[in-house]
Every structure is written in structure tokens, then in C-alpha cells.
DNA sequence: CGACGCCCTATTTTT
DNA sequence: TAGGGCGTCG
């Protein structure tokens, strides 16, 4: 035996690794060595003689599975390429391509990314003549979001609107029709959106018993990471592939479920023991990442939630430094203070070990400006990404047309680069080509000779079926000069981006795989091994999932930003914001800084309006955090923490157990005026200190509130 | 038909 | 702040 599992893993991890037969549910707290467990389990399976080709590893991003496979390969001293790994979506698309002949996609089909799907929504709306001149008609990105949500949650559009977008209720019929048309367009152009991949696979497997049998035989050991963020189809697919007795391990943490907005169903992880009745349940509770003061704080955040699989996270990493709560005067001064804090942290940690996290992409704009002014290098994740950039999409459009000549969205991109050719011309051209209307084609080519050039380029690509790299080179010969013309101010950057794309393409042998990987797993996902480059990381909390840094700063922790204002009206969404904050804070190993601006700048009135601090922070006992406020004269003043109370022990109990899981407080309650709130403290004999979202902390007499049991 | 410019608005998170 | 609606000119 190569690896001494017993000494390298703790007992719970060891059990998870060695329980290979039958269903297993692993509840893995934040930082509890979940990745390590999966890596060792992969190695263990292979050591037991399981052929790698019969193992499936489904993860949230492809990077995650690649890293795990690489690490398992290192342990064993052999490659693990034969293991099927990736996202549900890429796994599904691979199977759909394998059985394309059964599905009637012999001519090829391609996957729509978000922008392409929006294009088809726009087309559907225009064709139906809906919302003309109506400025408050939902925009295409909103529409595609709603339609996708309905499919992912498996609800009818009406219910999605009522729950999440009540103000759009009057457009229900229009949206319904647009959705219908959108489905038709996808069929016509032989394209699939993200949601189709999952549902089509389910349909394929349920309607072809022979295919199901064959695939089950090759999926003998299934591991699913981030199970709390799977949606309903994904759970059904797991069950389908595993069979009732199957060897399936689901790994997840209900406290970290943050994708409900796209259909993730937290119920999946609760139902696992019922769906697989013989399931073994294992909890990983020792945290190896964070120092105890950070963990005490995150435990306090979670104390107010109703976690089903209660965990008691504890750490052996002691520290005398408490997390910091910094209150800048406003969000405009916040950026400056954050920069100063980063300068300070830089003395202690390398720049790439520092991250700034926020709720929404645009929350970092002010900070980005300040960082640029300061000359601090940073990389942002979760905003506009490499593969969203126009020039990258343009270049890929040509390649996509090789895989699927009917892909109209790509067709549009490819031809719209020609000067004087817009949406209408593209449309006509496409229809002329599709219906073999030679005279119209000739006329168009005579008018714009460049049309012929592009058609010939595409034809030669389809004739020769080159590998992705050669195909891109042929495209670049035409497209690069065009980039210089259309982006005069920043074409060198874009050309460099195209070269990077060629780099990505070079290892691939066939176009279909290259395209699938690119649209289903974006290449600029954050990964741990990017640490080499010395830059600060800015990221949305969602994009930071699964990652960790020595120092983490959270900004804009005020109500309506974090939690998002969309989440304030519903209990479920509000609780998801809590988990999101929990995920954010648990990314930190040694330093955690929470920035709460006291006021928000209002451009419209050119004034600063007072803001409510993030309600979850109000619930945190003050001895767990050191608080600073910004002085008018600049700089910070410490207003709480050990300096003022030197007698208080600096870290919670010396015992390694967390000390937050004892009291039944806080509990949710309901107040006639303030609505739903969380009880923070019982003030003897008959009062409660209660935190009401939107109103802040209040002391209320017991008789005036109604206790709501979780 | 397409390019360009002006103005208004509504602003989450992503495979 | 950017995307989209709308008007104007080529």
C-alpha cells in the first residue's frame, strides 16, 4: 500500500475515504478537509483495483475536479485522466454528444452561453412584436433569468413571477409566449441552453433502457461535490445513474447552500438518506483552515440559522487576534480605508494571499478605482470574464459554426463584423443559405464582397475539419485585422486575449470537446494554483466558493447590499444571505476584516444617507470582534475589543470546542411593526434584544413579540 | 438598412 | 454605469 490513510486522515475523513460500497453522505463543514477527503478517496478506490474509467466525479466547476484528479494522481504516481470528471453540465453534454444519433443531432449541435440565449430572447420578442416602446418591459437578461429559474425550480412561470418578481406579473402572458418562441428557435437552430443539457440527459436515460444500463455499468463509483447546490434534475440524474444500491457519495454542507436563485434545492441533501435508505452519514467537523477567533465568529453567524445537519466546527489553530469590524464614515471613504488595510496586510502576507469579497460585482467599482490609483495589482472574478469579452466570442463563433452550421447566434457574430452588415442582413443571409436561395446570395455577395470571403473561410474550415488550434489560426488571419479596426484604443490587449485563446485550444484534438469545455466551464475561474501571480483578488462571494486566503476583507456590509435588497422580503432568501455571509467569512485563514460603511453616498441628491449595518453582524456578541470607527480627521479609532477590556480573555475558551452552540438563542420572532426579527439576547426578566432587518437592534418587551419556531 | 448619438432607467449571485 | 429605446443622418 502506497499511502498510509490512517495517519494522514482524521477518523471521520478515514471513514469517508474507506466506505466505498453503498451510498454515503458526507456533511463537510467549511474548511474541514473536504477536498483532501475526496482526493484520498479517489486514490483509495484506484488502489482497491477499481478501474479509473468507472469512477465519476461531479463538481461545481471543472477546475475543482481537475485539481482533485491531479492531486490524486500525484498521490498514486499515475495519471487519473480516465476518471470522468467535471460539472453536471459538461458530463451531460458529453453523454448527449455520444448519443447524438439517437437524439437526432447528427449534424451537430452547440451550447448557447448566456449572451447567445439573450440574443434569441431578443429575436423572439421582436418576432412577436411584444413590448414595443414599453420602457418598463423586462429586458432580455431578466427574461432569460426568469425562464431559466422556472425550469430549474420546475415551476410554472406564473409562480416564479409571483414569488420573485411580482411587479412583472402583468407581463406573464407576454413572457410565456416569448418563452415558447425561444424554445422553438432553439430547436430550429439545433442549439441547447444550459438547462436543456440536464433535462435532455434525463429524458435520454429514462426513455432508452439500453442506454441507461450501459451508462450505469460505467458509473460504478459516483462522487458528487457541493451536493447542497444541486437542483432537482441533478438529484434525479444521480439517482438514475447510481441505481438504488449504487455506490454514490454525496459531499456537501447545508450551511453553505447559496445557489437557490438558480434552482439549487437544499432539500436534496436533506432527502439523501430517504432516497438512499442504507446511506452511511459522516460528519467532518474539525476545521483546518481558520484560527479559532474567526471560527467563533462564523459559528455565531450560523447560530441564528436553522441548519438541519448541526455541526460543531472547531479548530486547533489559536490566535490572539480577533476579526475586525471597521466602520468607515461612508462607502466613498471605505475604498480608501480598504486600500490602507491592504497596505498593512501586505507586510504580513503576500498580495495573492489577500482577497476582497463582496455581494455583487458592481460593489467593487469604487475600490477598483482606488486600487488603480494606488498602483496595486488586482484581478477581479465574478464580473465580466474572459469568455464574455466580445472579441473572444467573435472568434469562437466561427469555430462554433464548424460544429453546427445552423447556429444562428454564431452566424450573426461571424458576419456582423463586416462593415455595413447588421442584424437584418445577417438574418436574410442565413435564411438564403438555409433555403438554398442562390440569387439572393449572389446579390448580397456582389454588394458586400467580404460576405463571400467569410463564407469561403467557413467552408474551408468545415471541409478540412482542422484541430481547434489550426482552425483558430485560420480565423485569426481574417479576424485579427478586423479587431484592430473595431477596437482602435485597446486592440493590443484584445489580440493578446486571442493568443491566450489559442493557447487554451492547443491541447485539444477535436473542436466539439474544445467548445464544450469552453462554454461549460469558463477558463478564467479562480483556482488555487494561480497563487504564483502576485496580485490581490477581488471576487463576488459566489465566485469565491471553495477557495481560501490568509486574509479576507468583506466590503459593503450594509443592508440592501449585503443582504441584497431583493432578499429582504422573503424568509428563505434572507436565510440564504446569511449562509452567503457564512461562506464569505469562512474563506479566511488568519485575518478577517468586515467593513460596514455608516452611510451610503446618494448621487441623485448628492448626499450621504445613513445605512443599516448588515443585520447578521448585529447578532454577533461584541466580545468576538474588535471594532474600529473612522475619525473625521482620518485614520481609525478602536471602540471595542481587548484594549478597552484587558481583563477579558483574548480568545474564547481555551478548549478546542466552539463555545457558541450552547444556548437555544437566538430564535426568530415576529413583531407587529418591525416584522420578522432574530432574538439576540434575553434581558432579564421580560425583555428581548431583537435584531430586525431594516430597523436594527431593538429592546422589546416579551409580550409584544410572537416567537416563531424554526 | 446601418451607424451614431442622446437620454433614460434600474441596478444580484452563475452553470 | 451600461444597455436599450429612439431619433437622425448617410
- Per-residue pLDDT reduced to its tens digit, A77-88: 888 889 998 899
Decide: A290 and A584 in contact? Cβ < 8 Å.
Answer: no
Distance CA A361, CA A352 (A): 20
pLDDT of A208-258, one tens digit each?
999 999 999 888 999 999 999 999 999 999 999 998 668 999 999 999 999
Backbone phi and psi for residue A84, each to the nearest 5 degrees, phi listed first: -85, 120
Range name among A150-154, A436-440, A490-494 with the lowest pLDDT average: A490-494
| Closest residue by C-alpha to C1' distance, nucleotide B13 | A542
Count of C-beta atoms within a 10 Å radius of residue A11 = 10
Q: Where is average pLDDT lowest: A204-208, A381-385, A410-414, A482-486?
A: A381-385
How many Å from the CA of A415 to C1' of B2? Answer: 14
Alpha-helix residue ranges (DSSP H) falling in A189-316: 194-207, 209-218, 232-242, 267-275, 292-303
Which of A584, A387, A602 lies closest to A504, judged by CA? A387
* Residue A701 DSSP SS3: strand
Task: Please write the tens of the pLDDT for every residue from A535-554.
Answer: 899 999 998 988 899 999 99
Query: Which nucleotide is closest to the Cα of A565 by its C1'?
Result: B12
pLDDT at A445 over 60: yes
What CA–CA distance (Å, rounded) separates A475 from A290?
49
Of A99 and A534, the structure prediction assigns the larger pLDDT to: A99
Is the CB of residue A564 inside 7 Å of nucleic acid strand B? yes
Q: What is the DSSP string of A23-39?
A: -EEEEE-TTSSHHHHHH
**pLDDT value at position A659?**
37
Q: Residue A656: its pLDDT value, please?
A: 35
Pick from A189-193, A353-357, A569-573: least confident: A569-573
Q: In the structure, how far is the CA atom of residue A365 from the C1' atom of nucleotide C1, in angstroms?
A: 10
Nucleotide closest in space to A121 (CA vs C1'): C4
Q: Please compute the mean of the pLDDT values over residues A586-597 and round it to a whole number.
A: 95
Residue A178 corresponds to which cell in the numbers above? 416569448
Q: Is the pLDDT of residue A128 over 80?
A: yes
Grid coordinates representing A56 are: 465519476
Which nucleotides of strand C lie under 7 Å from a protein CB? 1, 3-6
* pTM above threshold 0.75: yes
Q: Quickly give A412 CA vs B11 C1' distance in Å.
A: 29
Percent of chain A with pLDDT over 70: 90
In whole angstroms, C1 C1' to A604 CA is 13
- The answer to whether residue A660 scores a pLDDT higher than 50 is no
Residue A168 in this model has a pLDDT that exceeds 70: yes
Amino acid at each position: 500500500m502506497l499511502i498510509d490513510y490512517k495517519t494522514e486522515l482524521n477518523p471521520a475523513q478515514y471513514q469517508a475515504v474507506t466506505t466505498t460500497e453503498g451510498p454515503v453522505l458526507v456533511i463537510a463543514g467549511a474548511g474541514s478537509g473536504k477536498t483532501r477527503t475526496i482526493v484520498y478517496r479517489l486514490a483509495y478506490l484506484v488502489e482497491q483495483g477499481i478501474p479509473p474509467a468507472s469512477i465519476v466525479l461531479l463538481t461545481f466547476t471543472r477546475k475543482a475536479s481537475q485539481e482533485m484528479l491531479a492531486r490524486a494522481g500525484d498521490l498514486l504516481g499515475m495519471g487519473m485522466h480516465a476518471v470522468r470528471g467535471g460539472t453536471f453540465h459538461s458530463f451531460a453534454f458529453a453523454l448527449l454528444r455520444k448519443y447524438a444519433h439517437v437524439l437526432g443531432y447528427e449534424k451537430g449541435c452547440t451550447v448557447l452561453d448566456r449572451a447567445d440565449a439573450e440574443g434569441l430572447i431578443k429575436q423572439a420578442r421582436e418576432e412577436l412584436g411584444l413590448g414595443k416602446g414599453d420602457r418598463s418591459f423586462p429586458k432580455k437578461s431578466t427574461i432569460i433569468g426568469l425562464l431559466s429559474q422556472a425550469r430549474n425550480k420546475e415551476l410554472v412561470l406564473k409562480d416564479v413571477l409571483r414569488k420573485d418578481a411580482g411587479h412583472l406579473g402583468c407581463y406573464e402572458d407576454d413572457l410565456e409566449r416569448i418563452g415558447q418562441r425561444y424554445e422553438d428557435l432553439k430547436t430550429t437552430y439545433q442549439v441547447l441552453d444550459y438547462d436543456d443539457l440536464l433535462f435532455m440527459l434525463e429524458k435520454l436515460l429514462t426513455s432508452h433502457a439500453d442506454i441507461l444500463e450501459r451508462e450505469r455499468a460505467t458509473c460504478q463509483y459516483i462522487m458528487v461535490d457541493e451536493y447542497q447546490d444541486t437542483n432537482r434534475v441533478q438529484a434525479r440524474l444521480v439517482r438514475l445513474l447510481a441505481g438504488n444500491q449504487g455506490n454514490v457519495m454525496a459531499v456537501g454542507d447545508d450551511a453553505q447552500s447559496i445557489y437557490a436563485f438558480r434552482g439549487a434545492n437544499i432539500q436534496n441533501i436533506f432527502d439523501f438518506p430517504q432516497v438512499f435508505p442504507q446511506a452511511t452519514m459522516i460528519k467532518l467537523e474539525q476545521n483546518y483552515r481558520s484560527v479559532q477567533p474567526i471560527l467563533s465568529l462564523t459559528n455565531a453567524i450560523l447560530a441564528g440559522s436553522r441548519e438541519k445537519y448541526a455541526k460543531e466546527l472547531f479548530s486547533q489553530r489559536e490566535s490572539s487576534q480577533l476579526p475586525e469590524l471597521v466602520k468607515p464614515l461612508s462607502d466613498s471613504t471605505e475604498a480608501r480605508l480598504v486600500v490602507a488595510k491592504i497596505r498593512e496586510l501586505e507586510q504580513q502576507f503576500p498580495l495573492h494571499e489577500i482577497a476582497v469579497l463582496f455581494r455583487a460585482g458592481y460593489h467593487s467599482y469604487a475600490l477598483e478605482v482606488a486600487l488603480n490609483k494606488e498602483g496595486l495589482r488586482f484581478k477581479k472574478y465574478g464580473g465580466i470574464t474572459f469568455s464574455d469579452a466580445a472579441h473572444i466570442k467573435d472568434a469562437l463563433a466561427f469555430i462554433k459554426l464548424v460544429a453546427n452550421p445552423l447556429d444562428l447566434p454564431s452566424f450573426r457574430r461571424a458576419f456582423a463584423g463586416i462593415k455595413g452588415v447588421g442584424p437584418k442582413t445577417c438574418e436574410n443571409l442565413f435564411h438564403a443559405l438555409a433555403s438554398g436561395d442562390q440569387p439572393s446570395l449572389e446579390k448580397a455577395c456582389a454588394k458586400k464582397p467580404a460576405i463571400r470571403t467569410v463564407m469561403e473561410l467557413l467552408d474551408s474550415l468545415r471541409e478540412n475539419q482542422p484541430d481547434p488550434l489550426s482552425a483558430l489560426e485560420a480565423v485569426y488571419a481574417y479576424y485579427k485585422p478586423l479587431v484592430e479596426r473595431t477596437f482602435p484604443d485597446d486592440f493590443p490587449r484584445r489580440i493578446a486575449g486571442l493568443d491566450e485563446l489559442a493557447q487554451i485550444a492547443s491541447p485539444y484534438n477535436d473542436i466539439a470537446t474544445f467548445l464544450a469545455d469552453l462554454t461549460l466551464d469558463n477558463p478564467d475561474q479562480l483556482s488555487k494554483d494561480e497563487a504564483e501571480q502576485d496580485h490581490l483578488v477581488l471576487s463576488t462571494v459566489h465566485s469565491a466558493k471553495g477557495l481560501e486566503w490568509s486574509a479576507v476583507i468583506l466590503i459593503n456590509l450594509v443592508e440592501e447590499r449585503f443582504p441584497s435588497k431583493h432578499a429582504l422580503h422573503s424568509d428563505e432568501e434572507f436565510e440564504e444571505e446569511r449562509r452567503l455571509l457564512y461562506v464569505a467569512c469562512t474563506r479566511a485563514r488568519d485575518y478577517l476584516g468586515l467593513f460596514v460603511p455608516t452611510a451610503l453616498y446618494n448621487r441623485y441628491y448628492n448626499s450621504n444617507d445613513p445605512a443599516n449595518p448588515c443585520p447578521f453582524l448585529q447578532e454577533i456578541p461584541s466580545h468576538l470582534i474588535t471594532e474600529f470607527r473612522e475619525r473625521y480627521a482620518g485614520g481609525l479609532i478602536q471602540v471595542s475589543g481587548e484594549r478597552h477590556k484587558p481583563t477579558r480573555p483574548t480568545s474564547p475558551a481555551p478548549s478546542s470546542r466552539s463555545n457558541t452552540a450552547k444556548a437555544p438563542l437566538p430564535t426568530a420572532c415576529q413583531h407587529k411593526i418591525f416584522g420578522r426579527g432574530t432574538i439576540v439576547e434575553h434581558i432579564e426578566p421580560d425583555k428581548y434584544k431583537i435584531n430586525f432587518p431594516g430597523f436594527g437592534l431593538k429592546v422589546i418587551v416579551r409580550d409584544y413579540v410572537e416567537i416563531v419556531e424554526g
